[in-house]
Amino acid sequence: MARRRPANRLERHTAPLHIFATGSLVIVAFLLQSSLPVRAVQVLLFAVLATLAGKRIRWGYFLIMIASITFFNLLTPVGRVLYELGPLRITAGALEQGLFKGLAIVGLVFISLFTVRPDLRLPGAFGGLLARLFYYFERVLDTRRRVSAAHLVESVDEILLELYPAGSADDGSEEETGAPRRRTSSLGAILMVTLVAGNWAAAIVSWPGAS
């Protein structure tokens, strides 16, 4: 029996296009962040928001990702030597750069988890295609336990074939289904404005030369 997916607590307070635009602005500020401790705090914040959006965070997977990126970055020594382990020299610059890169990738994943929703509607043919892509992606994630590593292509193909009739008859648009249009509440607006303003303020304050 499949586990019930957690409810998206952000969905009831935010319109899909508004939260998507918020994520786009936050991504730029996040990538401009030059302080490692602040970036780490940002990643934790994004993880909390992704959890509130109903996503399950596999911390072991993301920690291994950060550790792997940091390790390979250590192979190019930069800056003061902190520790020598045989032929490997752990330097302050390489360690900081590796953690920076690892946290950047994980942070971008977390941002996408809470800002991209299946009910997102973007204008134009490309927007419709992107919305359909998100729809199928979300459904595959819901049934990921049925994906077999030994028969990867066959198992994914089977899931997509099951989803195709529903997706072809109904692309999830509000006009066709009559589903209520999600609107941004006052609480949602405050959350999004605070999120954008806070991340941009942190980027500006920590930027080299800012005083």
Dump pLDDT digits (tens) for 77-104: 888 888 887 788 888 889 999 999 999 9
Widest CA span of the chain, in angstroms? Answer: 66
* pTM (global) more than 0.85: no
Residue 35 phi/psi, 5-degree rounding, is -100, 125
Continuous H helices in the chain: 16-32, 36-52, 59-74, 92-115, 124-142, 152-169, 174-177, 186-206
Mean pLDDT for back-to-back runs of 10 residues, the chain (211 residues): 71 90 94 94 96 89 92 87 82 91 94 84 70 63 53 60 52 47 89 96 84 55
The answer to whether 19 and 8 have CB atoms below 8 angstroms apart is: no
